[in-house]
Chain A
Amino acid sequence: GQNIDQPTEMTATEGAIVQINCTYQTSGFNGLFWYQQHAGEAPTFLSYNVLDGLEEKGRFSSFLSRSKGYSYLLLKELQMKDSASYLCAVLDSNYQLIWGAGTKLIIKP
């Protein structure tokens, strides 16, 4: 079966750095996405990785290791508005997105 694992909840302090991990086992791999979802809102796109390595986009970076079936999202200089759920999703061999259950990130002042 297809499976994506990420921690259910994490807590971090404003101004700090946090790393959210995602491991996956899927039927094929055509890329990995990270989305942000604020409570009661729709998911919005953060990043896309298809090759191994780090993709940096402002305060957010995403890393991929295809051989390990592993990715992480790194958030720097945390702000209160970063309190949200972060969803990891893998595009499988049928070009369908397989979603993790999401990591709820709580930012404390």
Chain B
Amino acid sequence: DAEITQSPRHKITETGRQVTLACHQTWNHNNMFWYRQDLGHGLRLIHYSYGVQDTNKGEVSDGYSVSRSNTEDLPLTLESAASSQTSVYFCASSEKLAGPYEQYFGPGTRLTVT
């Protein structure tokens, strides 16, 4: 069965360190997204990609970067981790943007920056 996975599931890091969160999907979807979820807020879009070599900034992209070298993977890098980046991070993918095409979510990565 197709799936979307994230690793690690939990991560504790120190302020100023670089951190990379992995996202891998076997749906063969062109569209991939990274969100963060914090109490009291809806999911907020960090970066997204519509295909290989395509990346775009979302609503809360400062301090984050992504790269898309193949269809399956969209790693998210925190260049210099800050305490404000403590959050739960979800990766998602979808077949199409328009119409009743749901986004499929990975299980999430809980990141704590100390």
**A residues lining the B interface (CB < 8 Å):** 4, 30-31, 33, 41-45, 48, 50, 87, 89, 91, 95-102
Contacts and interface: CB of A to CB of B under 8 A. Distances in A.
B94 to A, nearest CB: 9
Contact of B106 (A30, A31, A42, A101): A42
Interface of B: 40-45, 48, 58, 90, 97-100, 102-108
B54 to A, nearest CB: 14
B105 A42 contact: yes
Contacts of A4: 42
Contacts of A87: 42-43
Given A41-B107, A42-B90, A43-B90, A99 B43 contact: yes
Contacts of A95: 97-98
Contacts of A98: 42
Nearest to A4: B42
A72 B17 CA distance: 43
Given A42-B106, A42-B107, A99 B98 contact: no
Nearest to B43: A99
22 contacts: A31-B98, A31-B100, A42-B90, A42-B105, A42-B106, A42-B107, A44-B105, A45-B102, A45-B103, A45-B104, A48-B100, A48-B102, A50-B99, A50-B100, A89-B42, A97-B43, A97-B45, A98-B42, A99-B42, A99-B44, A101-B41, A102-B42
List the 9 closest pairs (A to B, CB-CB), nearest first. A99-B42, A45-B102, A42-B105, A95-B97, A48-B100, A99-B43, A101-B42, A100-B42, A43-B105
Contacts of A41: 107-108
A45 B101 CA distance: 10
A30 B103 CA distance: 15
A87 to B, nearest CB: 7
Contacts of B42: 4, 87, 89, 98-102
A88 to B, nearest CB: 9
Nearest to B35: A99
Contacts of B106: 42
Contacts of B104: 45
